[in-house]
Structure formats: structure tokens, C-alpha cells
Amino acid sequence: MRWAVGCVLVGACLSHGCGSGLHDTGFTGTWERPLAGGHSSLSIREEAAGYVVRWSKLDGAESVRCDDRGHCEEFVGETKVYEWRFQPFLKPDSDDLFLEVVGTPLEENAPGLRYVDRLTLHDGGLALSSSQISQNGIDLDVPIGPRVFQKVADEPR
């Protein structure tokens, strides 16, 4: 009986990151999710004025490179196809972090894109869900997602 209880406790601990060295640091940290040809990651840090989010993506020939202020460039091969801006914000009535994303295509006559994602922590602060809640100024009746990111580092990278 003690062995079974011990196995349950160890399993619970491992599933919540006890053995991983990762901790619940709120939104601060580095989060990843696998893609078919690579991965997508969010690096989030808190500053006096709020949060800063840096996104990176590698998915086959597609890649996204961002600076430390949330200004990003998307490439297909070596050709830049989009510019992105990430602006995180908090709402007083929520524990979640919100992320306004504005995309500007470099192709002439292609429409831009603006959406808001809601970032929610779960699994003891070791997973982050991202659900799109609006697009081009229109609130979605049913959010798109969630896309689930797993914590890979307590510190932003």
C-alpha cells in the first residue's frame, strides 16, 4: 500500500514539474509548443511598465525573429513576408495576460491583421494556453485555440 501511494505522489510531482526544476513564476519565463517542422516559443518578462513578450518560430522554411521590444519579422526562406508587433496588457478584472498582435504584410494590397490573444496559466504555472479572442476589432463568439505552450525555463530567453 505504501508503495502505491508513493508511486501516485511521485507521478503527481513529475506531472507538475517537481523534478524538472521549473517553478510557477507567473507569466515570466520561456514557453514552447511543437510545430510540424519545428517549434514556436514565447519569452515573457515583467518590467516596471508591464510585460514584454518576444515570439520566435521555426517551422520548416518559415521563421520569425523578434527583438526584445516585441517587434518581429517573419520570413519564408530569406524573404521577409510580414512584420509583427506584440503589445501585452493586463485587464483589471482578470488574472490573465492579453496580447495584442498587429501584422503588416509586405506584399502590396494584402490586408493587415490585428488580433488579441488571451494567455492563461494552468498546470501549476507550468503550461500556458493562448486563445484568440478577437480579430480585426471584432470579439469572437468562440475563441480560436487554445494553443498550449509548456514551460521550458523559469527565465525569459
Q: How far apart are CA 139 and CA 157, in angstroms?
A: 32
In a domain, 8, yes or no: no
> Confidence band (pLDDT; 50, 70, 90) for 49?
confident
In a domain, 48, yes or no: yes
Residue pair 151/126 in contact (Cβ under 8 Å)? The answer is yes
In a domain, 38, yes or no: yes
Q: Is the pLDDT of residue 119 over 90?
A: yes
Q: Is the pLDDT of residue 63 over 70?
A: yes
In a domain, 1, yes or no: no
CATH number for the domain that contains residue 141: 2.40.128
> Confidence band (pLDDT; 50, 70, 90) for 19?
low
Q: Is the pLDDT of residue 102 over 50?
A: yes
Q: Is the pLDDT of residue 32 over 90?
A: yes
- Residues spanned by the domain of 93: 23-153
Q: Which of 82, 100, 81, 80 is nearest to 90 (CA)?
A: 100
Residue 152 burial by CB count (10 A; 0-12/13-18/19+): exposed, middle or buried? middle
In a domain, 3, yes or no: no
In a domain, 17, yes or no: no
Q: Is the pLDDT of residue 45 over 50?
A: yes
Structural domains in the chain (count): 1
Q: Is the pLDDT of residue 9 over 90?
A: no
In this prediction, residues 28-50 reach a mean pLDDT of 93
Query: Which pLDDT belongs to residue 12?
Result: 45
